[in-house]
Amino acid sequence: MDEYNCFVDWDKMDVSAQSQDTKELTCTDFHELKQLARQGYWAKNHSLRAKVYHKLISNIPCRTVTPDANVYRDIVVKIVGKRSSSSLPLPEFVDDSLIPAYCLNAEGVGAVRKIILCVANQFPDISFCPALPSVIALLLHYSKDEAECFEQVCRILACNDPSKRLIDQTFLAFESSCMTFGDLVNKYCQGAHKLMVAVSEDVLEVYSDWQRWLFGELPMAYIARVFDVFLVEGYKVLYRVALALLKFFHKVRAGQPMESDSIQQDIRAFVRDIAKSVSPERLLEKAFAIRLFSRKEIQLLQMANEKALQQKGITVKQKSSVIQNLLNYFFSVFCVVFLRQNVHLAVHAENFKSEIVSVKEMRDIWSWIPERFALCQPLLLFTTLEHGCSLSRFYSHSEGHEPTLLLIKTTAKEVCGAYLSTDWSERRRGGNKLSFFGTGECFVFRLQPEVERYEWVIIKHPELASAGSETENHARRVSSTLSSSSVASDRLSPFLAARHFNLPSKTASMFMAGSSECIIVGGGDGQALYLDADLNHGRTSHCNTFNNQPLCSENFQISILEVWGFRD
């Protein structure tokens, strides 16, 4: 069809969707380019798309020394030699079982493996990059030869603009992106999240698949349209499309029986066969209809999750030798196992025991907590069965732990509780006066007779946030003002302010309070939970902080109360 066709099996391509109209792209204005990308201006012309890709990739700011086509021609013979490309072992940072064909011919499929090996040779600092095979396979469609494709891939990998994130290249970056995606699902796909919790024992494991949906399962025509916009707008597009996929999956499959015994496999199958349900343009339309955080906020969220992983010692060190390569490989395997057990299966059936909730119920609660604390395991701090019904003992066992989880079982067998973001020792800051503290990460919930969670009201209704709210400036908080006169792009959304940067608003910010007489969770025209000094009786009602319904019988007697901490 054109000069960019040596790796394409045109018999597998939908040629009817291609236009032969001669078009050029002359605009350089970002906003105009963004609109053209979203509208698919170059999507139906193979040659034009190739030229646009070259132009966009050549404009990526890169390291001073970035491997180019000449480097590829110099090293490919030394690395590959006369061996068959299909027999070449791939580096550990890619999944050998996930090399997409994308309508490539035999020469193209072999070229993917050769380019991966040459990239590994030139980028020894890459330790985990599952998206790489997909990116190479796609770009081969729009390259005149292997060397040109190699050069384009290298420019994407060598991007040195800190504000322009493109492809994850370390296990730390990849895993933190999974945590960030989980946070975004919790915010923007609550219906789908409820379905995941209901049918999966391991909801966070499901979300860790998000990049595979895009760079593994999504058909060629779809990932090409995603890539059109990705090269213009960056990493945020990937989150948008993955959220849209989850929304469509929920819409199509809600109320239907699972097709397999794994929700992960069902989602993968749905994405592979997405053409039966949604067109590429409809997928993008859905993705851009989501009022997502700003790029700056997503970067802050990603940084917060990376920091949480680093604090647990989960990172990947730079490779420097054959021995170091082996050490890094085993370290990566350890990280995978560690995270799958402690992030995604933090609540172990064999060593978890509560007199109030089951393992499945505790895992449901774990799916609600901020992703960075899903790295921890539950640790029983206090139970009335062992420590007695004493508020002073409640405080003595709970203080020094942040956050904590409060579980209550009533004599009527109702179960409710609260996730509390702040150490109970903070209550002393008000002296003898009962005063509220805590952050917008707090939430309340009930499990029996039905499951319901109530978050801080500002998260769902940011318009209620007061103009000009300032937080206390101390070591655990970031001093900031959420002022109505602030420039919108420079403000954190209330959701991010609450969940990751501890910036509560004065409006509806009565999160938790305690004295020698009582414990209160939530306030304003009522209290979500009020417990007396004997931890014997309590009451619950609607409150402005969480806009909740009563969590159980409005006046109740406590059968068992437990406080759980988070163990590294």
DSSP 160-185: --TT------SHHHHHHHHHHHHHHH
Q: Are 521 and 559 within one domain? A: yes
Q: Are 407 and 544 within one domain? A: yes
Q: State the pLDDT at residue 381.
A: 97
Query: Is the preceding omega at residue 100 within 30 degrees of 0, hence cis?
Result: no
Q: State the pLDDT at residue 324.
A: 41
Asked, for residue 322, whether it belongs to a domain, the answer is: no
The alpha carbon of 564 is separated from its chain's Cα centroid by a whole number of angstroms, namely: 25
Asked, for residue 490, whether it belongs to a domain, the answer is: no
Distances (CA, A) of 390 to 382, 395, 426, 518, 537: 10, 9, 19, 11, 12
Q: Are 399 and 545 within one domain? A: yes
Asked, for residue 324, whether it belongs to a domain, the answer is: no
Q: Which of 265, 293, 316 is the C-terminal boundary of a domain?
A: 316
Q: Are 180 and 159 within one domain? A: no
Q: Are 62 and 122 within one domain? A: yes
Q: Are 63 and 19 within one domain? A: yes
| Number of independent structural domains in the chain | 3
Asked, for residue 469, whether it belongs to a domain, the answer is: no
Kind of pairing, strands 529-532 and 518-521?
antiparallel
Q: Which of 252, 282, 316 is the C-terminal boundary of a domain?
A: 316
- Can you give the residue range of the structural domain that contains 191? 170-316
Q: Are 432 and 539 within one domain? A: yes
Q: State the pLDDT at residue 296.
A: 77
- 379 Cβ neighbours under 8 A, 6+ residues apart: 564, 565, 566, 567
Q: Are 217 and 140 within one domain? A: no
Asked, for residue 190, whether it belongs to a domain, the answer is: yes
The CATH number covering residue 267 comes to 1.10.472.80
Q: Which of 295, 316, 337 is the C-terminal boundary of a domain?
A: 316
Buried residues in 440-460 as b, exposed as e (16+ CB within 10 A) = bbbbbbbbbeeeebbbbbbbe
Tokens 């709210």, residue located: 469
Q: Are 110 and 190 within one domain? A: no
- 153 Cβ neighbours under 8 A, 6+ residues apart: 115, 119, 132, 135, 136, 139
Q: Provide φ and ψ at 455, rounded to 5°.
A: -90, 175
Asked, for residue 340, whether it belongs to a domain, the answer is: no
Q: Are 115 and 181 within one domain? A: no
Contact (CB, 8 A) for 49 and 5: no
Can you name the residues that pair with 394 across neighbouring β-strands?
none
- 22 Cβ neighbours under 8 A, 6+ residues apart: none
**216 DSSP 8-state letter:** I
The alpha carbon of 41 is separated from its chain's Cα centroid by a whole number of angstroms, namely: 30
Please give the chain's pLDDT, 568 residues, in tens: 567 778 888 788 776 656 666 567 777 788 899 999 999 988 888 889 999 999 999 999 998 889 999 999 999 999 888 777 777 788 888 886 678 888 888 899 899 999 999 999 999 889 999 999 999 999 999 999 999 999 999 999 999 887 778 999 998 889 889 888 888 888 888 888 888 877 877 777 888 899 999 999 999 999 999 999 999 998 999 999 999 999 999 998 776 777 777 888 999 999 999 999 999 999 999 999 998 777 777 887 888 788 777 766 665 433 333 334 333 433 333 443 344 344 344 666 677 899 999 988 988 888 888 877 877 889 999 999 999 999 999 999 999 999 999 999 999 999 999 999 999 999 988 777 788 898 888 999 999 888 899 998 877 766 555 433 433 333 233 223 222 323 233 344 444 544 444 444 444 578 999 999 999 999 888 899 999 999 999 999 999 889 999 999 999 999 999 999 998 7
Q: Are 63 and 194 within one domain? A: no
- 102 Cβ neighbours under 8 A, 6+ residues apart: 134, 137, 138, 140, 141, 220, 223
| pTM score | 0.65
Q: State the pLDDT at residue 287.
A: 94
Asked, for residue 332, whether it belongs to a domain, the answer is: no
Asked, for residue 323, whether it belongs to a domain, the answer is: no
Contact (CB, 8 A) for 9 and 104: yes
Distances (CA, A) of 124 to 131, 185, 295: 17, 33, 29
Q: Enumerate the H helices of 213-321 as residue ranges.
A: 220-233, 236-253, 263-272, 280-289, 295-311
Q: Are 191 and 208 within one domain? A: yes
Instruction: Return d(Cα 126, Cα 76) in angstroms, integer.
Output: 19
Q: State the pLDDT at residue 150.
A: 96
